[in-house]
Structure 1
Amino acid sequence: MTSKHLIEYAQASADVRAVYDDIKRVRQVEDVNNFWKCLAAHPPTLRRTWESLKEVMQPGALDPLTKELIYVAVSVTNNCPYCIASHLAAARRAGMTDAMFGELQAVVGMANETNRLATGYRVPLDAALQD
């Protein structure tokens, strides 16, 4: 299924173009990807999402590669093929190796399995793990 409302730069309003220009500048790309073009159908959502993403993904206590790896892990768990592809590309640009990706997938798979087991068995929280 494809979206019927991709807003290309040439058809975009001045507000949308401003966000697109910022995305291209920050990400050092020639065009924005389809995620942003879809969100541009509602410019306030486009701007809010871009500003939030910039803030969250900027270097901080966690480096950019770690943030991208976390983003990939959550995207895999949430079964979002678009976000998986987008953030795998970003993780690779930030230095992710094939070995790192393999370990990431192992951790994601194990966490999902043990999360389901703990939830299914309704395992009570140990006293030592409580605040």
Structure 2
Amino acid sequence: MPHEDHPTSTVNAVEEHEAKDRVAEIFADIKATKNLDFVPRFWRVIATNPVQLDLVWTTLKTLMHPEAVGRTAKLDAATREMVALAVSATNACPYCINSHTAALRKLGIDEEALGEVMAIAGLFNMTNALASGYQIEPDVRPPH
């Protein structure tokens, strides 16, 4: 039963025991790749559209779990999760904030470091809004 303070999903999640074919394969891959004993609700909800599930999982696995697809990432796992957390906070996504905070805690990131991530995300939300609002022309540019 959903918590009173949180909205209910707009569709019914696909239960793990009901998953078939490609959805069942992806559910098994999610659990194995993320080292979980359950399929998180996000994946079960988007599984109502198996094509979307496949696209999102394949992309997320490639970028967030590169070792699972034989790729070596330039960013370490904690940095990738910090970026995901900062964007999730900026987009005000409670589900994603909790998910990426949990992932960071699993990676050993403490509350003080999480506070730094939030402080930096908040700072740049403010400075971006100021630069945009004032329409400040860029004068500090990366090298070509």
| RMSD of aligned Cα (Å) | 1.2
How many Å apart are 1:10 and its aligned residue? 1.4
Instruction: Indicate yes or no: 2:8 matched with 1:2.
Output: yes
1:88 to 2:95 alignment: no
**What's the CA shift for 1:58?**
2.6
Percent of aligned pairs sharing the same letter: 39
Write the letter of the residue equivalent to 1:129: R
- Measure the CA separation in 2 of the matches of 1:9 and 1:58: 22
The answer to whether structure 1 residue 121 and structure 2 residue 134 are counterparts is yes
Q: Could you tell me which amino acid in structure 1 is paired with residue 75 of structure 2?
A: L
Could you tell me which residue of structure 2 aligns to residue 33 of structure 1?
40
One-letter code of the match for 1:88?
Answer: T
Q: How does 1:39-54 map to 2 (within 5 A)?
A: 39-54=46-61
CA distance, structure 2, for counterparts of residue 27 and residue 125 of structure 1: 40
1:11 Cα shift?
1.4
Corresponding residue for residue 68 of structure 1: 81
TM-score in terms of structure 2 length: 0.86
State the number of aligned residues.
Answer: 130
Q: 1:77 aligns with which of 90, 101, 114?
A: 90
Distance 1:40 1:75 in 2: 21
2: CA distance between counterparts of 1:9 and 1:99? 36
Larger helix percent? 1
Letter in 2 for 1:61: K
Give the secondary structure class of the aligned counterpart of 1:96: coil
Structure 1: 5+ residue stretches without partners? none
Q: How big is each residue's C-alpha offset from its partner over 1:82-119, in whole Å with a ceiling of 9 and x where there is no partner? A: 11111110111112111111111110111011111101
1:92 partner amino acid: R
Alpha-carbon distance in 2 for matches of 1:68, 1:17: 26
